[in-house]
Amino acid sequence: MRAVRTLPALSALPARRACLRALLPLGVALIAAAAGPAAAAAEPAQPLRISAGAELWSIPAAALRQFASDGRFSDQRLLRLVASSGWPDAALRAALLKPYAVDLVALARFLDSPAGLAFLQQQTRAYRPFGDGRSGRDLRVPALRSAILADARSGSLTALGILRHLPAPLVLDLAGPSPLRCSSLPCDNPEQCRSVLSWLVFLPACLQAAAQS
């Protein structure tokens, strides 16, 4: 049986209060996430929305948390997503919950740099607004940036934490460009390079590396 690649565990580092100035308002749709931990906690967690042809999947955040914590499936669409991820269930569950220690100031500095903007644009290329998209504003990049910084306030990032903090309803549209996995590590299975869940679990690891460089 082929060994599964895992990412190194790191202990969390404390977040710095002064860096909250980096969390600038991102418009009406982002105010709740930028207002502070109490306001963010009051907002319901966004589900994982996926558009697959004529189908629109909406996988509740609670179903993702349950799978990550005990391996049980309360949503058949999540079962299909896990089966097509290219990873064994146990490795995927550990990766969804794995914390990556980050310094919030360094992370915000990276995200505000030209390289950080390019990274956010690449990581949101498969997203589209949920609904009719008539607001006239492209919230993909600011929404992901806000989610990353909101999750990093604790001093660490997790894949589920970033997803939970998304302040705007977005859809991963699989009819267009596939989600771009940020890691260049070779894949033991082709699905590990292009699946939705593989993209999600590598995201906090890549952000940690970028903030430390």
Could you tell me if 152 and 107 are in contact, meaning their C-beta atoms sit under 8 angstroms apart?
yes
Type of residue numbered 109: R
- Within 10 angstroms of residue 203's Cβ, the number of other Cβ atoms is 24
pTM above 0.75, yes or no: no
**Measured between alpha carbons, how far is 91 from 60 in angstroms, rounded to an integer?**
21
**Measured between alpha carbons, how far is 112 from 91 in angstroms, rounded to an integer?**
32
Contacts of 133 (CB under 8 A, 6+ apart): none
Could you tell me if 163 and 147 are in contact, meaning their C-beta atoms sit under 8 angstroms apart?
yes
- Within 10 angstroms of residue 37's Cβ, the number of other Cβ atoms is 10
Coil, strand or helix at 173: strand
* pLDDT (tens place) for every residue of the chain, 213 residues total: 444 444 333 333 333 333 333 333 333 223 233 334 433 344 557 788 888 777 788 888 899 999 999 999 999 999 998 998 989 999 999 999 999 999 999 999 999 999 999 999 999 888 776 654 555 577 889 989 999 999 999 999 999 999 888 876 678 877 666 677 888 788 888 888 888 898 899 999 999 999 998
